[in-house]
Amino acid sequence: MSVAALLLSGPALLLYTAQNHYASHVIQLALAEKRVEYQRITLDGTLDEDLADLNPYHTVPTLVDRQVKLYETRVILEYLEDRFRQIRLLGDNPAERAEQRQYAWRIEQDWLKFAHILLTHQDTQDANAAAHARMQLHDSLVSLAPLFGYKHWFLRDQFGLCDCLLAPMLWRLPQMGIELNRRLAGPLMAYSQRAFERESFLASL
């Protein structure tokens, strides 16, 4: 069925994803948190002709909303925040929103770059590079674990953009070969449990 036919037959949003794919999970979590209906197409690794027409990089997640076609995770998150304002992932004032975006950037720089190494091309990845990434991610999470004890969510009372980035990564720590010690990372592990039990997270799975 073509993209046009899919959009006519169901919810306006169409999301291309891949199975057990971190970035796709981030978008699915944001959509579940905002309670937005959408159609999901899960690809199996083969080239999809419709996706090739929508996205020159043939990557997921790719979001289609009528004439809008987006294929970069943070851009999709920002679009969803602007498009569906009934449940907000960012703060109410410019200073708070800027601070949260900066936290998100730091999450990407300090943690997600290592997670990306460990979650992609696991069958061909360099063993030394993977071991280095695993150690860096583990040690950084442990050293910053107290941050997760300051507020109910990540440096915030309400579930937000940073939590959408963090929860899918933390869910995949076992897949990345990372085991945390409760004595060393108690606040982080408690945060993870809260996130994994949240209704939107369960729906995003």
DSSP notation for 38-94? EEEEEE-SSPPHHHHHH-TT--S-EEEETTEEE--HHHHHHHHHHH--SS-SS-SSH
Domain 3-83, CATH among 3.40.30.10, 3.20.20.140, 3.40.50.620, 3.40.50.300? 3.40.30.10
Beta pairing, strands 62-65 & 68-70: antiparallel
Q: Is 137 strand, coil or helix?
A: helix
pLDDT for position 52: 87
Q: Is 153 strand, coil or helix?
A: strand
% of the chain at pLDDT higher than 70: 91
CB contact set of 147 (below 8 Å; sequence gap of 6+): 154, 155, 187
pLDDT for position 44: 82
Task: Report yes or no on whether pTM surpasses 0.75.
Answer: yes
C-alpha distances (whole Å) from 141 to each of 26, 76, 96, 160, 184 are 19, 26, 24, 19, 10
Question: Which residue did the predictor score with more confidence, 143 or 4?
Answer: 143
pLDDT in tens, 17-39: 999 999 999 999 999 999 999 99
pLDDT in tens, 46-67: 667 889 899 999 999 999 999 9
pLDDT in tens, 98-129: 999 999 999 999 999 999 999 986 666 788 99
On the question of pLDDT at 13 being above 70, the answer is yes
pLDDT for position 127: 87
Q: Which helix or strand (DSSP H or E) is residue 13 part of?
A: strand 13-18
On the question of pLDDT at 94 being above 70, the answer is yes
What's the CATH class of domain 94-204? Answer: mainly alpha
Q: How sure is the predictor about 3, in pLDDT bands with cuts at 50, 70 and 90?
A: low
| Sequence ranges of the chain with CATH classification 3.40.30.10 | 3-83
Phi and psi at residue 67, to the nearest 5°: -90, -5
pLDDT for position 124: 65
Quote the Cα angle for 73-37-52, to 5°: 45
CB-based contact 15:40 (threshold 8 Å)? yes
On the question of pLDDT at 199 being above 70, the answer is yes
Average pLDDT over residues 177-204: 97
| Sequence ranges of the chain with CATH classification 1.20.1050.10 | 94-204
Amino acid identity, position 142: V
